[in-house]
Structures are given as C-alpha cells and as structure tokens.
C-alpha cells in the first residue's frame, strides 16, 4: 500500500519531467526505524548549499522538483532524531532520482550517512504525530514532557490531559466526570489488577513516571478494547532501551511543610517491623494483642528522599535489555475537621483530627526485547511495585470529640479515637508480547500474569471516653479496642491476539486506500481471596473497670495481669471472607476502509462477562451471587483529513459498566473516621452509549488546537449512597434509570516562542478546558427503596465537575546545556462526593440527608531544571504551592421543618495537604 503511493508520486513526477526535459526531481520516502518502520511525517529534507527544501507528508513521502542536472547533498533531519546527510545524489534531466532512507535514534556510521544526535521516541512531537495519525480519539503524554513538568507519578500525569481530574477526597481519577468504575487501566495493552478492595483500578500513584515511556488515554471506544468502560482506557506504555546503551542514577531530597512543622511526627508500633520499605512480622494478630505495644512512636527528621538507577544495553543487532530500580520515602501530615450528619442531626464531630502518613514506594522494571528479523519480535516485561504506608490517625485530643454511639456516658465524657494502620501493596505484572508477520498478516499477541497482595497486616484501633479527670475505654461494642488484619490475594491470567490484514489492494503495499480488517479476541480470568479479622480486647462487666493514666500510654492497662484478674478479655471474631471470580471471553471484528482523506472504522465485539462472589461476613453470613452478561458492543469511528493540518473525527459506541467485587460482597469496611462502606448484592451492570465529535488543527508538527463535543447516556448508573440506617453506612445502588453528560473540551499546545525563532530560548503553553452539563434521575421505587427526596427527582452525576482546567507553561533555553522551567496548574470545580437520600420511605420529602459536595480547588506546581553538562542535571521542584483547603460540605435542613431554624451549609470535612519542595540530582553515564 505504501509502495503504491510512492509509485504514484514517482509517476506524476515523471510526467512532469517528460514535459520539462531540462530539469530533474529528487523524490523518496522516509521511514521511522524506532517505530516499526512506519512513515515519518514532517521530517525536513533540504539540499545543502541550495535554497530548496520540503517536509515529508503523512505517508513519509517527499518531492523536490525543477532541479538543474548535477550532484546534490541531501540532508534529512527531524527533532530528536539523527541527522542523515547523503552526498553525491545525481539529478539527470528528464529523470526521477529516488532516495529512500530510514531515520532513527540509534547512533551508527555508514559510508553515506553522518549521525549527529541520539534521542528517544517518547517526545511530545512523536506523540502528537501518533495522535494525528490514529483512527480513534486518543491523547498521550510522554516521559520527556513529564520530566519538564516535574511529574513523578502516573496519577498526576493523567491530569495533564484534557478532561481529566484527580479527586483529593476519593483519590479517584475522573475522565469527563466519570470516575473509577467507568475507567479501565492497561499496561502495554493488557489489564492491570486493582490494589485496593475499594476500587476497580490500580492506584496510579504506584507507577513512577521513570518506568513509563508514555501514557495514552483513548476516550472513544473501539471494539478491540475491553467493554467495561465509559469514559476511557488509560494505557501505560513501559520504558525500553532506545539507542545502544544507557546508565543513569538520581537522588532527590525534600520536605512537606506540614510534616516539618508538626510538633511531633507520629508513627505506629508497626514501624519496628518495616525494613527497607518492606513489612515483616512474626506475630499473629492474636499474639500482637499483648506482645506488641498499643502506643505511638515519634519519627525524627520526617524528610522526603528518593533514589533511582536505570540502565540498559544492546547486544548485537537483535537483543535489547533495560532495567530500572527506584525507591522513595515521603511524609505527610494533615490537620483535619470532620463531622457527619444523619437526618440533619450531628452523628460525629471532631475539630482536631491529626493524620500522619509515612510512605515508602519501591519499583523495579525489567524489559527484554529480541528482534528475530524484520518480521518477528518478542518482548518480556516484568514490573514489581511495593508500597508500604504507615498511617496514624488521631481525633478528639482537644476534648471536643463527639461520637453519637457514646453520648450516653455518665458522667458525660468526650471521645478520642486513634487508628494506626500499615498497608502494604505488592504488585507483580509479567507480560510476554510478540509480533509476527506472515505475508499480508500482521499478528500481535500478548499473555499476562498478574499477582497482587494488598494487605493491612497490623491495624490498631482505640476508642476512648475521657475528660480532665478520668480516661475510660469506649463502651459501645466489643471491638472498640482491637487489632486486625486484612488480606487481599488476586491472581489473574489474561491474553489477547489480533490479526491485521488487508483485503483490497493486497499487492500495492504503498497504497493506503482500501479495506483492512482486524480480527481478534481477549481472555481474562481473575480470582480474589479476601479475609478480614478483628481481635478485640474488652472489659468484662461491670464497666468501666480499667482506667489508663494517659491517652499516650494505653498499653499500661492492656496487660496479662488485667486479663488474669478478670477485668479484661480477648475475643477473636470469626473472620469476614469472600471469594470472587471474574471471567471475560471476547471476540471482535474491526474493519477500516480508507478512501483518500476518509477513514471509516466499524467494529463489533461480542463479550461474555461472568462474576461469581461468595461470602461469609458478620452482617450477611453464607451468601453468594452470580452475575452473567453477554453483549454485542459496536463502535464507529470516522476520520476525515481535510488537509495536512486539519482532522475531523466522529465516534459512536456502546459499552458496559460491571459492578466490582467489593460493590457486590456485603463486607463492611470502616475507615479511620468511622465511615463505613458496604457492598450490595443487588447492584447490576450499566449500559453506556457514547458519542464524540472532534476537530483537530496542527499548525506545526509540535502544535495542536482541538475542540471536542461529547455526549454520554448511562442506563442504570451505579452510585454511592448513604444507607437509611443509624449506622452511617455508604453502599452502592442503581439509584436512577438514566444519567446524561454533555460536554465540550478545548485543548491547545502552542509554541508562544518557538525554537526556530532562534532567540536562544523557547516558551510553550499547554492549556485544556472542559465544560460539562450532567444530570441523572432518582428512582422513586427500586427494590423497595425510594431515592427521590425533598421533591428532588434529578441530581448531578457523582464525581462530575462542571469545569476542569489543566494548564502549564514551559520555558527552555536552546543552548547545549539548557535551563528548563515549568509552571503547571490544575482546577476542577465542585462535584458530588455522595448522593443524598431520604431518611425514611414514609416521609422522603421531610426526612432526608442532602448530597455531600466536594468543593473545587487549584493545585499549583513548579520546577526548574538545569543541565550542567551532558551527564549532570540538577532539579528544584515545588508541589501544591498554594496549599489549598480541601473541603466537603452538606446542606443541613431544619429538623422536622422547625420554622425557627434555617437551612445551613455545613463543612463535613476539611484539610490541607501541605506544600512540598525538593531538590534532585541525576547523573547519566
């Protein structure tokens, strides 16, 4: 197909030459060695010493005409690639001289080629070209651009793409207002498991950007992708060796102002069991009741630091290796306010929450690639992630704590809560990825094996009643003084295969017109074993019987002596367990018909999804549920290339949203503030209908302006809702018949001052803005539940912001050892954290809880980087420089329509994360 295009171009030039026998032409094609020899658009082709030149078109073709006979020196260049100079190119009158070459990043020397630079294919220019040439709607960001912005994790990196925001409250990534359950995360095209019982997708903070080549988000669905998505597919392309060898080391040190300013930085007793970022203890939970202290410890010098090393080498012409290892330790401290309302009454209230968190993250990546020949290659990728978080949560030390369950104490006492927890997540992802070419057939295949161990091996909980004169143990329940452990073991096997081949113009390799088919399938088997066990230490009757002398020394009363004398007893509660299995079987056919400037891409996927969950938990013993779905999922993607600068795209599709294991299994998870979430076996999958219309304008090879309009309809949307009970439990429901989102995205990547201006520096802006309108109905009756309340039958979509803004400005000098400075900002306006609900079924317009709103805020980051020489780089960065207050609010109504009271907006949670400053050094050997 490609060769045919070149032949056509040569033919046209030949006709021109026949008419003008006195001149000649130089024509040819440039391909990209670093990208499977695909055409390289927008490469520069000039005749040295002559005032003539051109750039390659979308097929990598070029033509320089009307040349006088003679010999010329042709120079090929492209930003970030080798410069190739070919001498003694002879032009003969009345003839066409054809020059074909491949450009790449690998330094080499041939008789007719001169190499001047070595670069990588994760540059912004390369990704823009990929976006421009793609059939579907997607956007990408590469490691080079992320380095300029000082971005350290994939979670933050996604917010640099239009329509993407990150919730400080829930930790979720939102694309076009749709959060965790509407996304799918893949690595090199294969699914990545979740590390958290509460979420569908893995915590993207676990992925440091140093293991990433680029991150792409496909916002428009095509039938070759998994159907469990509505807003997008986040794909993480891991790094591999580019060039012949690489070795670098880096070190960074910094601090969080909140952590440094804390009077004392507290860590739990579990800290003694953490070594080099890994937790290990020989004590069982029962043994830890008396064999381990219950008291906190003090961490000296809570300073952030990290190191990394990366290296690789090419062996011969076929084998490439690359590996990277990194570890970082960070400290965070928050002062929080929290209160919870139920039926417009205060359930819990704490004005002095202190939250300490120490995190150590370790990552290791191994990439091995072997190219058998031009037609076959295989790649092995292994990624290991370990994240250990030590968290200490204290609330009520100031004597103003209020917990509804404990208000009946006599004499009246205030409440104090301490929650100490260690969380360790280990993720191992192994992938075999291959490509084989058989004649006209290009077969891509991959097999993955994922293992996740996400545990809370040592969680310590104390609930205390106290005043100035006395300290008592909490009285409500048998597990207010407890130690617990939680284990999640996930095992997953997945695979994909795709055969891509031409149906028409088979013999014309350079002719891109015609019909091309992709036929393939996906398989996924995921199993989860979950266990959570509490071991409580409680007072025997009568209460109270033991009186600690200090909130900071509860261990003094939790002794074997007090157990022996009958004042205390230990109770092992039966473990909460559930087992779950997800099976996905899918086959698809995607056809792409190209006719000159048009691309018509039609796909159909048949997918079978099977979810089986069994459980035995305290609030719902010995239960099980099975969810079986089979769907035909069509997709339509149409692209029109008006010219080299403008694209128009139309996309339409149907997708699904499956309920997660945790959303089905009725296990109750208690967070440190006492908020409880619980699954609902009756929740069902949603159906999603998606429509996108996009215009792209590429003023140059490094610039982009685009405008997108999108619409989504979600049938039976799943939402987090507060249960109607006195326990303050959040659960999951299909609370509406339909949700709708209408939005506009504006994205721009503009060179305010380009490098070509030759001023010695450049200035580049990247700004995207999204405006959304969204609503969903509230069912008046669903499984005996009414979700409409206060006369309200519609509300906004949970997690969706009306406005999303992402912007950054990059200054860079153009000398050999440049300065790079970047300022970036992100803003998402307020959104619904949790839907409101009627307190009772009988009076839903009188007794109800309003929705909880998360307010909007601005995050501002800055970085300055200086290359001292070709080996040494220094970096100074600041994150969250404005340190905004993160706040959730709720409208509280007059109790029982009391005319003497007025409606008020109450803060239910607020805190600040603290600004961070760090200094780093990187040395490349």
Q: Which CATH architecture has domain 248-924?
A: Beta Barrel (2.40)
- Alpha carbons 670 and 198: distance in angstroms, whole number: 11
Whose tokens are 């579907």? That residue is 136
- Alpha carbons 654 and 229: distance in angstroms, whole number: 9
What's the sign of the alpha-carbon dihedral 217, 218, 224, 227?
Answer: positive
- Alpha carbons 822 and 544: distance in angstroms, whole number: 60
Over residues 6-58, the pLDDT tens digits come to: 444 434 444 343 334 467 788 887 887 766 667 787 888 999 888 788 888 76
Per-residue pLDDT at 129: 66
Per-residue pLDDT at 20: 41
Q: Is residue 516 helix, strand or coil?
A: strand
Q: Is residue 126 helix, strand or coil?
A: helix
- Alpha carbons 106 and 676: distance in angstroms, whole number: 55
Backbone dihedral angles phi then psi of residue 210, each to the nearest 5 degrees? -70, -15
Per-residue pLDDT at 876: 92
- Alpha carbons 681 and 255: distance in angstroms, whole number: 45
CA-CA distances (angstroms) from residue 770 to 331, 391, 781, 827?
33, 35, 34, 10
Whose tokens are 């690489």? That residue is 246
Per-residue pLDDT at 24: 78
Which residues on neighbouring strands pair with residue 256, listed in sequence order? Answer: 916
- Alpha carbons 285 and 279: distance in angstroms, whole number: 14
CB 733 within 8 A of CB 718: yes
Nearest to 159 by CA among 215, 103, 75: 215
Which residues on neighbouring strands pair with residue 456, listed in sequence order? Answer: 486
- Alpha carbons 348 and 338: distance in angstroms, whole number: 8
Per-residue pLDDT at 585: 96
Token pair listed for 248: 């670098």
Token pair listed for 96: 């066409």
Which residues on neighbouring strands pair with residue 174, listed in sequence order? Answer: 165
Q: Which CATH architecture has domain 124-239?
A: Beta Complex (2.170)
- Alpha carbons 564 and 447: distance in angstroms, whole number: 57
Token pair listed for 743: 């939005």
- Is pTM beyond 0.85 here? no
Per-residue pLDDT at 692: 93
According to CATH, what is the number of the domain 2-103?
2.60.40.1120
Q: Give, in degrees to the nearest 5, the angle at Cα 212 between 206 and 217.
A: 85
Token pair listed for 128: 């823009």
Show the beta-strand stretches assigned E in 596-675: 598-617, 620-641, 646-657, 668-670
Per-residue pLDDT at 674: 64
Q: Quick check: bond before 411 cis, omega within 30?
A: yes
Which residues on neighbouring strands pair with residue 657, listed in sequence order? Answer: 686
Domain ranges of the chain: 2-103, 124-239, 248-924
Which residues on neighbouring strands pair with residue 857, listed in sequence order? Answer: 828
Q: Which long-range contacts (C-beta less than 8 Å, at least 24 apart) are formed by 345-350?
A: 345/895, 346/402, 346/404, 347/403, 347/404, 347/728, 348/402, 348/403, 348/404, 348/673, 348/674, 348/728, 349/400, 349/401, 349/402, 350/395, 350/396, 350/400, 350/401, 350/402, 350/417, 350/673
Per-residue pLDDT at 783: 56
Per-residue pLDDT at 910: 94
How many other C-beta atoms are found inside a 10 Å radius of the C-beta of residue 419?
A: 21
CB 205 within 8 A of CB 212: no
The DSSP string of 686-731 is EEEEEEEEEEEE-SSTT-EEEEEEEEEEEES-EEEEE-SSTT-EEE
> What does the DSSP 8-state code read for residue 83?
-
- Total count of residues recorded for the chain: 925
- Alpha carbons 148 and 822: distance in angstroms, whole number: 6
CA-CA distances (angstroms) from residue 815 to 78, 166, 755, 758, 819?
18, 36, 10, 10, 9
Token pair listed for 707: 């405008």
Backbone dihedral angles phi then psi of residue 241, each to the nearest 5 degrees? -65, 135
Which residues on neighbouring strands pair with residue 463, listed in sequence order? Answer: 417
How many other C-beta atoms are found inside a 10 Å radius of the C-beta of residue 759?
A: 12
- Alpha carbons 253 and 734: distance in angstroms, whole number: 47
What's the whole-number average pLDDT of the chain?
84
CA 877 to chain centre: 22
CA atoms within 13 A on the CB side of 92: 5
Residues with pLDDT less than 70, the chain: 1-22, 34-37, 58-59, 79-80, 94-95, 105-130, 148-150, 166-171, 197, 407-409, 477-478, 506-511, 671-675, 701, 724-728, 781-785, 895-901
């Amino acid at each position: 197909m490609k060769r045919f295009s070149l032949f056509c171009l040569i033919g046209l030039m030949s006709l021109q030459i026949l008419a003008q026998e006195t001149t000649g032409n130089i024509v040819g094609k440039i391909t990209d060695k670093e990208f499977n020899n695909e055409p390289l658009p927008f490469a520069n082709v000039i005749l040295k010493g002559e005032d003539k030149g051109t750039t390659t078109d979308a097929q990598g073709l070029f033509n320089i005409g009307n040349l006088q006979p003679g010999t010329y020196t042709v120079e090929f260049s492209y930003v970030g690639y080798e410069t190739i100079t070919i001498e003694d190119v002879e032009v003969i009158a009345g003839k066409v001289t054809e020059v074909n070459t491949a450009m790449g990043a690998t330094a080499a020397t041939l008789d007719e080629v001169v190499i001047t630079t070595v670069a990588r294919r994760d540059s912004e220019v390369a990704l823009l070209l990929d976006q421009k040439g793609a059939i579907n709607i997607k956007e990408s960001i590469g490691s080079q651009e992320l380095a300029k912005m000082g971005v350290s994790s994939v979670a933050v990196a996604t917010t640099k793409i239009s329509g993407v925001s990150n919730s400080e409250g829930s930790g979720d990534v939102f694309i076009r207002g749709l959060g965790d359950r509407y996304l799918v995360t893949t690595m090199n095209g294969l699914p990545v498991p979740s590390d958290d019982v509460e979420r569908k997708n893995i915590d993207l903070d676990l992925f440091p950007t140093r293991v990433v080549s680029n991150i792409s988000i496909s916002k428009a669905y095509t039938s070759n992708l998994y159907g469990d998505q509505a807003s997008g597919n986040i794909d993480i392309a891991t790094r591999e060796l580019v060039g012949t060898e690489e070795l670098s080391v880096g070190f960074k040190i910094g601090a969080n102002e909140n952590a440094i300013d804390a009077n004392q930085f507290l860590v739990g007793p579990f800290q003694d069991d953490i070594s080099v970022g890994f937790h290990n203890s020989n004590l069982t939970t029962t043994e830890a009741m008396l064999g381990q202290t219950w008291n906190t410890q003090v961490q000296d010098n809570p300073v952030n630091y990290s190191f990394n090393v990366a290296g690789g080498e090419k062996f011969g012409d076929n084998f490439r290796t690359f590996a990277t290892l990194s570890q970082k330790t960070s400290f965070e401290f928050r002062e929080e306010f929290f209160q919870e309302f139920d039926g417009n009454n205060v359930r819990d209230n704490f004005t002095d929450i202190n939250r300490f968190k120490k995190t150590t993250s370790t990552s290791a990546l191994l990439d091995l690639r072997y190219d058998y020949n031009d037609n076959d290659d295989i790649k092995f990728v292994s990624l290991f992630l370990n994240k250990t978080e030590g968290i200490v949560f204290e609330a009520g030390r100031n004597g103003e704590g209020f917990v509804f369950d404990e208000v009946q104490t006599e004499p009246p006492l205030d409440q104090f809560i301490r929650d100490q927890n260690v969380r360790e997540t280990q993720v191992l992802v192994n992938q075999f990825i291959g490509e084989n070419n058989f004649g006209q057939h290009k077969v891509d295949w991959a097999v993955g094996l994922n293992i996740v161990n996400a545990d809370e091996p040592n969680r310590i909980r104390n609930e205390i009643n106290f005043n100035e004169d006395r300290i008592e143990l909490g009285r409500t329940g048998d597990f207010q003084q407890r130690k617990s452990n939680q284990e999640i073991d996930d095992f997953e096997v997945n695979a994909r295969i795709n055969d891509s081949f031409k149906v028409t113009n088979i013999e014309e390799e350079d002719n891109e017109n015609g019909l091309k088919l992709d036929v393939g399938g996906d398989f996924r088997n995921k199993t989860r074993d979950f266990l959570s066990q509490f071991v409580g230490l409680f007072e025997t009757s009568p209460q109270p019987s033991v009186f600690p002398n200090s909130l900071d020394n509860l261990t003094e009363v939790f002794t074997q002596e007090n157990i022996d004398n009958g004042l205390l007893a230990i109770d092992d509660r039966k473990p909460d367990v559930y087992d779950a299995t997800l099976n996905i079987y899918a086959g698809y056919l995607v056809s792409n018909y190209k006719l000159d400037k048009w691309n018509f891409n039609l796909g159909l996927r048949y997918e079978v999804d099977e979810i089986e969950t069994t459980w035995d938990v305290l609030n719902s013993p010995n239960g099980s549920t099975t969810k079986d779905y089979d769907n035909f999922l069509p997709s339509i993607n149409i692209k029109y290339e008006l010219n080299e600068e403008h694209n128009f795209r139309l996309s339409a599709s149907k997708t699904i949203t499956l309920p997660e294991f945790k959303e089905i299994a009725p296990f109750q998870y208690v967070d440190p503030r006492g908020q409880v979430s619980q699954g609902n076996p009756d929740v069902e999958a949603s159906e999603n209908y998606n429509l996108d219309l996009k215009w792209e304008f590429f003023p140059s090879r490094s610039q982009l302006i685009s405008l997108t309009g999108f619409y989504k309809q979600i049938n039976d949307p799943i939402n987090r809702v507060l249960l109607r009970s006195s326990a303050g439990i959040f659960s999951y429901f299909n609370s509406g018949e339909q949700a709708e989102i209408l939005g506009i995205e504006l994205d721009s990547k503009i060179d305010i001052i380009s490098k070509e201006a030759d001023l010695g520096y450049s200035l580049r802006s990247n700004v995207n803005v999204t405006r959304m309108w969204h609503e969903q109905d509230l069912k008046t009756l669903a499984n005996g539940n009414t979700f409409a309340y206060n006369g309200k039958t519609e509300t906004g979509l949970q997690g969706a912001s009306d406005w999303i803004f992402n912007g950054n400005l990059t200054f860079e000098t153009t000398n050999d050892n440049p300065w790079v400075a970047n300022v970036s900002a992100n803003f998402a306006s307020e959104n619904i954290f949790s839907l409101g609900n009627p307190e009772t079924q009988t009076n839903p317009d009188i007794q109800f809880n309003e929705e909880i709103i998360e307010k909007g805020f601005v995050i501002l980051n800055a970085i300055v980087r200086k290359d001292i020489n070709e080996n040494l780089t220094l970096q100074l960065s600041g994150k969250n420089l404005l340190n905004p207050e993160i706040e959730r609010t709720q409208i509280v109504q007059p109790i029982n329509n009391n005319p003497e009271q007025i409606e008020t907006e109450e803060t239910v949670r607020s805190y600040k994360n603290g600004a961070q400053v760090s200094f780093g050094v990187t040395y490349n050997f």
